[in-house]
Amino acid sequence: MIELTTGGRMDRKTLFVDVVLPLAIQGTYTYRVPADMADQVEEGRRVIVQFGKNRIYSALIYKIGEKAPERYEAKYILDVMDEEPIVTPEQFRLWEWIADYYLCTLGEVMQAALPAVLKLASETRITKGPEAAGDRDHLHEKEFLILDALDLVPELKVSDVVKLLGQKTVFPILKRMFDKGLVLISEELAPKFRPRRQIYLELAAEFSDEEGKRLLLDSLNKAPKQQDAVLGFLQLRKQSGKITRKAIIESTGVTTQVIRSLIEKEVFVEREELVSRIGGEDVVLTKDFTLNSAQKKALQSLQQSLEEKEVTLLHGVTSSGKTQLYIRLIEDFLATGKQALYLLPEIALTTQITERLRLHFGAKLGVYHSRFNDQERAEIWAKVLKGELQLIIGARSSVFLPFHQLGLVVVDEEHETSYKQFDPAPRYHARDTAIFLGHMHGAKVVLGSATPALESFYNARSGKYGMVQLTRRFGESQFPQIDVVDLKEAARQEQMFSYFSSKLLKAMEEAISNKQQVILFQNRRGHTPVSQCKTCGYIAKCIHCDVSLTYHKSTSKLHCHYCGFMEDPLQICPACGSTHIESKGFGTERLEEELELLLPKARVGRLDLDSAKGKHGFERVLSAFDEHQYDVLIGTQMVAKGLDFGNVSVIGIINADALIHFPEFRAYERAFSLLAQVAGRAGRRDQPGQVIIQTYSPNHRVIQQVVSHDYESMFMTEINERKSFSYPPFFRMIRLEVRHKELAVAKAGAERLVFLFRQQLGERVLGPEQPLVSRIRNQYIESILLKIERQGISIAKVRELIRQTVQHFGTEKVFKSVRVLIDVDPY
């Protein structure tokens, strides 16, 4: 950055950098580069800057130039943190697309994209690391002072460290200490996932032939129980190649001690294998596997489709073996030196897929999601940046990683709403972002699902995407038998017992008596959703939100599921003083309570957000059910997300109407998807399961489509309605929420915004109206919906219009305190 002038005098150019701050501010902010740092600045590196009076941040260099800002005097950057860029030009391009498409700021994208360790600020928390207890004699004085302070208090803020050391540039010191393991930065404990393992028993090799078996049985004449166990094993061996300890115990009635004795005598040999509970596939995880004929054909079609199209939809029924196709595709791309990204909607629920991929890809595989701590996430980030990892498996946030040679993106269960971030901004959809990411890198994208999103299936049908279908289940697995119970008719014939029909109760009893298991689905947690006064009709509501409070038996409190407010249950009506309080509705806790009365011998477990709290809560419940500590598992939609238990023979859907009769245009699509996914949990590979759907609308088309496994019919009906009523995929939707602590201000603000929008967009603007939940955390909400046709109008101009209108609205004095949230593709 040094130049010689004509007179031989050396002049130094002054550099300015535009930086992205992890804040919701429009655009970038310009800082001046000190002369002694001019050679250190580079796009993608972090710098320490002061923003505002006292706030210090690590910001990212976005652009470098020589032009000073016109409207304000540029402050100097305080330090350069990195020796190499931590963000690539491709990532900045992706961030720009997200900020533009989802109408948010680059700072909000940065906040979502970077691990906490890489975006330090004055309020970042510092705690002691694992190496802090070691010898401190070799530490620098300032490192010693920080650890000495952490001996006295459990955590420090970066601003506290600034005061402690008497200097602003503390980030390099903290980074050095973090690298040494002396401190942790914004540490969040991650659950430690365990793979599902199955132990099988085999006869020792010396007893494998007929003579060996005869000699073995003769030698056990004086131990009849052990002889029974061996005979039971031989009988089971005729039916299946893999015999578990539990299967022998159940078929012969011998005890665990008998089996243990035979293992000690080396009659039985134990063999442990990883097994999957993903996508209905109860198959052994081995490094080598053979595709069946349907899978081979599908793989060939996939490979051909990916040559012709950037995106291909793999529409495969539950338990069809889609995962094995993904593995073969990933192997092909990795062999060419490319990187691959495997997206899953719920990483915590699908750990076994990670273990399965490790068998194939070993050290090439990295796992990335928000449940890992900041150290692990920063390490994965660095390894991807250096090209040390070829395959990443992760949740939606993994689309932000710094890929260099991305060749393949797999979006598994692409229909899942978990891919959409609803709050805070950026409110992006990981599936759509992954498609742009693939396009940007020239990579291929595979979307996989048994019940694809209507937009994806429409794009495949119209030729925008390729499509490959797998219509057969893996191995001998059969579709479950689905029975529908008319709740009106069952009540009329007095065949209802609490919330359970006689048909469901009988099926449950038979399953339990046959040593099999049951899953009951009720998509509402808690005990009782509504507490109401019988005298005046008063309903207990949250004081901060416009929702009724749900009674939870586990805490004996009324809970708000939006803000966390709690209070004691109603004993006396605060409106009229009556003591006649009744409970209405039911959640998973109430079902658990009722079932324990109806089936007192059944062991009942529950899987919802309340029972799965804590680091290992989810895993604890699933492991207990997997080990048959529970006969019945009652759960919310968590039980539908890709789990499979080989011993489950009955699925009960307690109230399907709550899914179908929901005031949203996607209600039928999502009801079909959820019901079909829940139904896919029933049955083993060698015998079909039974699904019982309880409903007041047995002839409803969605129920009938689920019964007949008819996705195509559901798609055709829904797509015609979407076209008639101007919904996606034919129209784009953008929702704006106007929020304020005063209802009148929120209403006035929403009406003003609608007036401004209608001047340009006319009838495309709907609202304002109050949403179903019209107040959350003391903020009143008014909703505005924009429907924009896909033909004949520039969506880029519409987005710019929205930005300018909302910005102009914010300058009006009366509305300065009003918040406007923008959600593109909101549903």
Q: Are residues 238 and 378 in the same domain?
A: no
With cut-offs at 50, 70 and 90, classify the pLDDT of residue 8. very low
With cut-offs at 50, 70 and 90, classify the pLDDT of residue 488. very high
CB 503 within 8 A of CB 483: yes
Strand partners, 271: 200
Question: What pLDDT was estimated at residue 222?
Answer: 86
Determine the structural domain holding residue 48 and report its residue range.
Answer: 16-118
For residue 365, give the nearest of 336, 383, 385, 389 by alpha carbon: 389
CB 407 within 8 A of CB 333: yes
> What does the pLDDT average to over 509-527?
88
Q: Are residues 322 and 392 in the same domain?
A: yes
Tens of pLDDT, residues 356-370: 787 778 878 888 876
Strand partners, 511: none
Residue 625 confidence (pLDDT) above 50: yes
Question: If phi over 0 gives left and psi between -120 and 50 gives alpha, with beta otherwise, what is residue 630?
Answer: beta
Percent of the chain with pLDDT over 70: 89
Reported as type and span, the H/E element at residue 275 is strand 268-275
Query: Cis before residue 569, ω within 30 degrees of 0?
Result: no
Residue 769 confidence (pLDDT) above 60: yes
How many Å is the maximal CA-CA distance in the chain?
A: 110
DSSP reduced 3-state for 447: strand
Residues sharing a CB contact under 8 Å with residue 120, sequence separation 6 or more, in sequence order = 57, 58, 158, 171, 174, 185
Question: What pLDDT was estimated at residue 645?
Answer: 66
> Between helices 89-101 and 795-811, what is the axis angle to 10°?
70
Q: Which of 145-159, 165-179, 499-513 has the lowest mean pLDDT?
A: 165-179
Q: Are residues 204 and 181 in the same domain?
A: no
Of 189 and 383, the one with more pLDDT: 383
Question: What pLDDT was estimated at residue 351?
Answer: 58
Q: Are residues 294 and 256 in the same domain?
A: no
Tens of pLDDT, residues 712-729: 999 999 999 999 999 999
Residue 287 confidence (pLDDT) above 60: no
Q: Are residues 696 and 744 in the same domain?
A: no
Question: What pLDDT was estimated at residue 500?
Answer: 93
Tokens read off for 820: 């406007």
Residue 734 confidence (pLDDT) above 50: yes
Distances in Å between the Cα of 303 and the Cα atoms of 279, 314, 350, 407, 505 are: 22, 11, 26, 13, 48
Q: Are residues 114 and 129 in the same domain?
A: no
Q: Are residues 793 and 664 in the same domain?
A: no
CB 662 within 8 A of CB 704: no
| Total number of domains in the chain | 6
Q: Are residues 621 and 715 in the same domain?
A: yes
Please tell me the distance from the alpha carbon of residue 351 to that of residue 173, in angstroms, as a whole number.
Answer: 36
Q: Where are the beta strands (DSSP E) in 245-336?
A: 268-275, 284-285, 311-316
CB 679 within 8 A of CB 482: yes
Q: Which of 298-307, 619-628, 793-802 has the lowest mean pLDDT?
A: 619-628
Residue in the structure block whose two tokens are 């002839």:
699
Tens of pLDDT, residues 413-437: 999 998 999 888 999 999 999 999 9
Question: What pLDDT was estimated at residue 186?
Answer: 60
Of 614 and 803, the one with more pLDDT: 803
Q: Where are the beta strands (DSSP E) in 276-390?
A: 284-285, 311-316, 339-343, 365-368
Residue 280 confidence (pLDDT) above 50: no
Distances in Å between the Cα of 668 and the Cα atoms of 651, 704, 722 are: 20, 12, 12
Q: Are residues 494 and 640 in the same domain?
A: yes
Tokens read off for 5: 């002038």
Domain end, chosen from 88, 118, 148, is at 118
Of 687 and 245, the one with more pLDDT: 245
> What does the pLDDT average to over 199-220?
86
3-state SS string for 756-819: HHHHHHHHHEEEEECCCCCEECCEEEEEEEEEEECCCCCHHHHHHHHHHHHHHHHHCHHHCCCE
Q: Is residue 541 part of a domain?
A: no
Q: Which of 12-21, 304-313, 619-628 has the lowest mean pLDDT?
A: 619-628
Residue 87 confidence (pLDDT) above 60: yes
Q: Is residue 536 part of a domain?
A: no
The domain spanning residue 685 has which CATH number?
3.40.50.300
Q: Is residue 508 part of a domain?
A: yes
Question: What pLDDT was estimated at residue 527?
Answer: 82
Residue 190 confidence (pLDDT) above 70: no
CB 335 within 8 A of CB 329: no
Question: What pLDDT was estimated at residue 6?
Answer: 42
Mean of the per-residue pLDDT values of the chain: 86
Residue 375 confidence (pLDDT) above 80: no
Question: What pLDDT was estimated at residue 552?
Answer: 87
With cut-offs at 50, 70 and 90, classify the pLDDT of residue 292. confident
Question: What pLDDT was estimated at residue 318?
Answer: 72
Of 661 and 816, the one with more pLDDT: 816
Domain end, chosen from 185, 207, 227, is at 185
With cut-offs at 50, 70 and 90, classify the pLDDT of residue 501. very high
DSSP reduced 3-state for 746: helix
CB 160 within 8 A of CB 125: no
Domain end, chosen from 118, 138, 165, is at 118
CA atoms within 13 A on the CB side of 356: 23
Q: Is residue 328 part of a domain?
A: yes
Tokens read off for 12: 């130094």
Tens of pLDDT, residues 390-420: 999 988 999 999 999 999 999 999 999 989 9
Question: What pLDDT was estimated at residue 30?
Answer: 95
With cut-offs at 50, 70 and 90, classify the pLDDT of residue 812. very high
Please tell me the distance from the alpha carbon of residue 760 to that of residue 542, in angstroms, as a whole number.
Answer: 39
With cut-offs at 50, 70 and 90, classify the pLDDT of residue 477. low
Number of H helices, E strands in the chain: 25, 39
Q: Is residue 532 part of a domain?
A: no
In what order do the strands lie in the sheet containing 183-185? 156-157, 125-128, 183-185
Residue 189 confidence (pLDDT) above 60: no
Distances in Å between the Cα of 590 and the Cα atoms of 465, 550, 593, 597, 747 are: 45, 11, 5, 11, 39
Q: Are residues 159 and 205 in the same domain?
A: no
List, in sequence order, the alpha helices (H) in 462-560: 487-492, 502-513
Residue 191 confidence (pLDDT) above 60: no
Tens of pLDDT, residues 522-581: 888 888 888 999 999 899 999 999 899 999 888 889 989 888 889 999 899 999 999 999
Question: What pLDDT was estimated at residue 475?
Answer: 57
Q: Are residues 302 and 420 in the same domain?
A: yes
pTM metric for this prediction: 0.79
Please tell me the distance from the alpha carbon of residue 669 to that of residue 672, in angstroms, as a whole number.
Answer: 5
Distances in Å between the Cα of 784 and the Cα atoms of 239, 755, 765, 807, 826 are: 62, 11, 7, 16, 12
Question: What pLDDT was estimated at residue 405?
Answer: 92
Tens of pLDDT, residues 114-163: 987 787 776 778 888 888 888 787 788 889 899 999 999 888 888 888 88
CB 657 within 8 A of CB 698: no
Q: Is residue 534 part of a domain?
A: no
Residue 250 confidence (pLDDT) above 70: yes
CB 362 within 8 A of CB 429: no
Please tell me the distance from the alpha carbon of residue 726 to that of residue 721, in angstroms, as a whole number.
Answer: 8
Q: Is residue 598 part of a domain?
A: yes
Residue 352 confidence (pLDDT) above 60: no
The domain spanning residue 42 has which CATH number?
3.40.1440.60
Query: Cis before residue 688, ω within 30 degrees of 0?
Result: no
Between the ranges 264-278, 296-310, 477-491, where is the mean pLDDT highest? 296-310
With cut-offs at 50, 70 and 90, classify the pLDDT of residue 276. very low
> What does the pLDDT average to over 3-8?
44
Strand partners, 486: 695
Tens of pLDDT, residues 669-708: 999 998 888 777 665 455 678 899 999 999 999 999 999 8
With cut-offs at 50, 70 and 90, classify the pLDDT of residue 349. low
Q: Is residue 592 part of a domain?
A: yes
Tokens read off for 699: 């002839």
Q: Are residues 107 and 207 in the same domain?
A: no
- Reported residue count of the chain is 827
> What does the pLDDT average to over 35-46?
93
